[in-house]
Every structure is written in structure tokens, then in C-alpha cells.
Amino acid sequence: MENMKVPNHIAIILDGNGRWAKAKGMPRGYGHIKGCANLEQICYDIKDLGVKYLTVYAFSTENWKRDKEEVDYLFTLPIIYFDKYIDSMVNKGIKVIFSGDISKLPNKTMLACDRALLKTKNCNKCILNICLNYGSHDEIVRACKLIANEVEHKQISINDINEKTIQDHLYSKDLPNIDFLIRTSNEKRLSNFMLWQASYAELYFTKTLWPAFTKRCLIKALKDYSKRDRRFGGVKK
């Protein structure tokens, strides 16, 4: 798109699946299925636009508070999603990685995630980082514990610790920081999502519910991003 800046790393909080389904008189699970299908399409759209990294918030550490039936259903979605779309993702060169403690997920869900990691490990056109059982506070506490363990075992000294040390112990250690963060469904908060990585991200909130977020919506968001003047705390001369 002419005169449109393309971020290197986009993050999306996938919000509004249940409300979208309810508005159509359908159960919440229907919204989650449609949300998964939409993620597949938007992922391809983002890759085609030249974005190298996409991070999505799929299941937070706080989502365990939801009704058990819904939580159990949500954990079937990675199995369904990868079974249906993983071959297409491989063909399009999309590498799948995860942020979050997936060891606490049901065994079948973990196995589906492991298969996705294995099948896409050599893909290099675009990286899809899926945040599962993820919370930024939890991630930062985990990083502190890892660093403290290295200090205790004299692998590093306290004076060695800096921003890069923390960055290198985050789940997203191999990814650049987020440039543009989109949240659907008109909620205007970060909800414990990528607080370190999004420290200088441009934020965009839309009323559109996630299953209805189309390529046209994405282009509209990117046009808005293109108008932003990113100074990172400095002043342009």
C-alpha cells in the first residue's frame, strides 16, 4: 500500500469472540471457532503485507478464572486449529512459536503445540507467536527467578544485570519489541499483555469484535499507524 508504514512486529489482543457469538444467538464456543478461522486469514494477510512478526493473546493466566466448561473447550482449539491449518501455514512459510507456560496445559493440547513447533521450525517468511497461558507479570517474575538462579550459581554477577539481561530471559527473547498493538472489541486496556515488549508500542483500539476483524480493518489500523510519530521518548529535530 502506497505511503503506508508496515510495522516489523504487530501484536493483537483477540477480544470479543463470545460477544460476537452471543449477538448472533450462538454459544460462545461458536465465536471461538470463528475467531480461530479469522486468525488464520489475518495471519496470511499480515505476512502478505510484509510484517515479519505477529504476536497474539490467545489464553491468559487470568483466563483460568472462567467457567471450567469454557476453559476446557478453549484448550481443544489449538488441537483443532493446528490440525486444520498447519499444512497451509507451512506452505506459506509461517513459523509458530509460543509464549507462556504451556507445560500446565492439558496433555493433548501440549502435544498439538509441540507438533506445530516441529512442523514449522524451518519456516522463515513470518513468525506467529501465540501467547498461551501467558501473563506479563508471570513472565517477568519467571525472568527474575531465572536471573537470580544464574547469580546464585555465579554464572553472572549482580552488576551484569541490565535491560538486555531481562530481555534475554523473557519468553519472547528471540523477537523484536512490539511496534503496533491492536485490541479488538472496544476494550481499552492491555490486560497484562506484553508489558515489557510493548513499552513503546503504538496502541490501536477498535470496536470491531475479533471474528469480524477483516483485512479491511487491518488496513485501516495500519493507515492510522502510518500517521504516528514514533519518538521513543526523544525529540525529533
Q: Are 2 and 23 in contact (CB under 8 A)?
A: no
Give catalytic status of residue 15 as yes or no: yes
Residue 141 has a CB neighbour count (10 Å cut-off) of: 11
Q: How many helices (H) and strands (E) does the chain have?
A: 8, 6
Give catalytic status of residue 107 as yes or no: no
Outline where DSSP puts E strands in 34-190.
53-60, 94-99, 126-134, 180-183
The amino acid sitting at 89 is M
- Catalytic pick among 63, 101, 177, 192: 63
Which residues are registered as beta bridge partners of 13?
A: 57, 183
- Catalytic pick among 15, 17, 38, 129: 15
CB burial readout 160-170, b (16+ within 10 A) else e: ebeeeebeebb
Query: Which residue numbers are catalytic?
Result: 15, 63
